[in-house]
Amino acid sequence: MEGSQWIPTVCYQCKGECAIIARVENGVLKEVRGNPKARGKACVKGMAGVSLEYSPDRLRYPLKRVGKRGEGRFERISWDEAMSIMEKKLRDLRDRGDAHKLTANFFPHSITDPKWRFLNAYGGFINTALPHCDSAKIVGFIRTMGGVPNHHIPPAWFTVPKGGIMILSGRRPFGGLEDAAVPRDILEARERGAKLVVLDPMFTPEAAKADWWIPIRPSGDTAFFLGMIHHLIMNDLHDADFVKKWVRDGDFEKLKRYIADKTPEKMGEICDVPAETIKKLAEACAAAPSVGVDSFKGVMLGNAMDFAHAWTIFLCITGNIDNPGGQPLPDLIPLSPVSPGPAGPDLHELGWHRTGPDRDKFAKYSFIMEPTWYEAQAIKNGGLKILITAESNPALTEMGQNEWQKAVCMTDEKGEYMLELLVSFEIMMSETARYADLVLPDKSYFERWELLYMPWWYNFGHGLALRQPVVEAPGECRHSNIVMIELGKKLFPEYFQFEDDIAYYDIQLKGLGLSVKRLQEIGGLWSPGTLGFRKYQKTGGFGTPSKKLHLYWEDLEAPPWNQALPRPDLAQEYTDNAKSYPFFLVSYRIIYHSGAGQWTHNNPQLRDRVSGFYENPLMINSRVAGEMGLADGDRVTIESPGGSIQVRLKLTEGIRPDCLGLAHGFGSTIGRVATVGEGVASNILIPDSGSTLEWQDVVGGESHVSTRVSIVK
């Protein structure tokens, strides 16, 4: 890598995975920008990837725990020793007939990820980092529209026509990015005459740019949408032709009966929005050429399953499915199979979350569960014996972190750890790695190969992108994919007959007339060039059994849901303890620390006092603070039924009086920069997480915004 050159690759400072170009001079990474041949944008976090790459905290050698779990005492070992420890433990577990007691906690960048293959071959399971906020919505979309897990496909904002309506419901694409190009797309759509509507308890950067900000009560989103659905149906403002043609017979009639008493007035009381506002937006949507709704992350409103249901019903009855400006559906391009392929567990039988242990109990849940919660439960139940984490930090960044920490340290009557092996692949020491038996130095996203195929994702939806090494990795770093391929070759060679990751990707690319080399030659990006609208017309319908849209979810008729159409009520946690804990805690994301946990925490560019985000003060409405005798900068204790933390106050007009806002993802305890910066972890406040989450399990794992809190000076 002599001289200076720009090399196309893919960012991974967050899960948006934007196409970027990296400037490399004499083998040193100097600069990152958005790839002009793709969507052309990189955010502040993406550009700060240079600091991450050269962090003094990078792990360089495999480490083995020598103290107790959590003590953080390790010794350097060789890769050979690390591999043989893993191989032996994995063989033992499988030979005992307990292969399903292996779980991997990682964010699968793509279905091309070889770690999937390993887990399928072994019979283990995956916990992804997805569940916090969108799993119920993923499953909701599958129920209504069928097909592959759509994951989160936001509206293609660049296709919104003049007069189209863009609704961001608890979604903060400007401040909690998953695609650096989305803010531009939304603002350009506005410039050509589309309207932006923001439902959010806080006055966010999106609200500042919106035509209409509706400061909704947290968790009121389902009621808000049901109020609009009532108004549309009762006034014949819905798209009757679309409904007649594409909604399953009988579903609309059931919905009409159900919605009859969900008036905007009643729903307005639940979501604390005037009925006139609900009606006005419903009428505007009925008259608009398109309506797109995005939720998913950002402020993460509660009752996810019900909201997913109300959201999809709204899109269906307004005909905004797979149209310009509406809800896109994925357009899959076929990758070639790598034969023979391991079958993997049956998702329908075992639950969407691929739960191994406790399957009788957990399989009834219809969406992916909170990984930290699930892992803590499974360890305690003796159902999780080997846990492998990669680029995830359940000991800090997910609710239930305390229970997780306790669970991984639990011992049986012989004094042995109930979790027999904990392996952490990371690029720098993390809270999770500190508990691990083996800490394995991973390659950063600037040092490794990956074929990214994400038909449901933002940037290269409908295409492929190549992540390629732009610089050498330090020390003895190895990419986790290579490690899992090597283990696969030892444990079940029949499924790992290819040489390495590149050979694996080449097989997958073959049917498209591509290879890794060819992809490299053409700039690392490939797309069939079609976004495609109303594909269901050409394919004879949707992916549901009836080929029509399913508004009525009969599989939820049975307990514990007892509800085949969406409930409008607030999450139960909002009404419990309301007197003792008068505020709703809004746990929100910010661009500096969204999506990459330790990597962004420990990045000097992102924790800078002036240009970065140094701490996470508690946002409180100025009037309310005044009434309570609190001033800007005061230190207060936030208490919830689950715990308490101390934090500094920040007064603002931009939050509902009944809410407190706390940026999520802070509280790191490891790393040279992370420990210098201030900040607190909001997870500690989440009640019950890691022990019981019965109601949240039913409505969709959204405890982050179902937390009632109080504050005292």
Q: Residues, the chain, total? A: 713
Q: Is 34 helix (H, G, I), strand (E, B) or coil?
A: strand
Instruction: Compute the least distance from the CB of residue 41 to ligand SF4, in Å.
Output: 7
C-alpha distances (whole Å) from 15 to each of 107, 208, 404 are: 8, 25, 23
Asked if 2 contacts 33 with a C-beta cutoff of 8 angstroms, the reply is no
DSSP codes joined into one string, 113-148: -HHHHHHHHHT-EEE-S-HHHHHHHHHHHHHHHBSS
Q: How far is the CB of 360 from ligand SF4 (least distance, A)?
A: 39
Q: What is the 3-state secondary structure (H, E, C) of 539-598?
A: HCCCECCCCCECCCCHHHCCCCCCCCCCCCCCCHHHHCCCCCCCEEEEEECCHHHCCCCH
Nearer to ligand SF4, 14 or 299 (CB): 14
Cβ 429 to ligand SF4, closest distance in Å? Answer: 21
Q: What is the sign of the dihedral through the CA atoms of 661, 665, 668 and 674? A: negative
| Cross-strand pairs, 450 | 467
Least distance to ligand SF4, CB of residue 43, Å: 3
* Residue closer to ligand SF4 (CB basis): 179 or 403: 179
C-alpha span between 48 and 445 (Å, rounded): 13
Residue with smaller CB distance to ligand SF4, 590 or 711: 590
Residue closer to ligand SF4 by CB (options 461, 687) is: 461
Q: Which two tokens mark 15?
A: 């899960």
The answer to whether the beta carbons of residues 122 and 485 sit under 8 Å apart is no
Per residue, the 3-state secondary structure of 597-619, as one string, reads CHHHHCCCCCCCCCCCCCCCCEE
Q: Which of 68, 20, 15 is nearest to 468 (CA)?
A: 20
Can you say whether the dihedral through the CA atoms of 374, 379, 383, 388 is positive or negative? positive
Cβ proximity to ligand SF4, 43 vs 418, nearer residue: 43
CB of 12 to ligand SF4, least distance (A): 6
**Cβ-based nearer residue to ligand SF4, 297 or 354:** 297
Maximum CA pair distance of the chain? 71
Which spans of this chain sit near ligand SF4 (rule: CB under 6 A)?
11, 13-14, 16-18, 42-43, 45-46, 177, 179-180
Q: Which is nearer to ligand SF4, 22 or 655 (CB)?
A: 22
> How near is the Cβ of 606 to ligand SF4 at its closest, in Å?
10
Pairing, β 4-10 against β 19-25: antiparallel
Q: Alpha-carbon distance 150 to 329, whole Å?
A: 7
Quick check: helix, strand or coil at residue 352? coil
Strands 618-621 and 643-652, how do they pair? parallel
Taken in order 117, 119, 123, 126, is the CA torsion positive or negative? Answer: negative
Quote the DSSP letter at residue 101.
G
Smallest distance from ligand SF4 to CB 599, Å: 10
Question: Which residue lies nearest ligand SF4, judged by its C-beta?
Answer: 46
Q: How far apart are CA 167 and CA 175, in angstroms?
A: 16
What is the nearest approach in angstroms of ligand SF4 to the Cβ of residue 21? 11
If the CB atoms of residues 600 and 707 are measured against ligand SF4, the closer one turns out to be: 600
The two tokens of residue 301 are 């409103």
Q: What is the nearest approach in angstroms of ligand SF4 to the Cβ of residue 178? A: 6
Pairwise CA distance, residues 432 & 375, whole Å:
13
Q: Which is nearer to ligand SF4, 18 or 473 (CB)?
A: 18
CB of 8 to ligand SF4, least distance (A): 13
CB of 250 to ligand SF4, least distance (A): 43
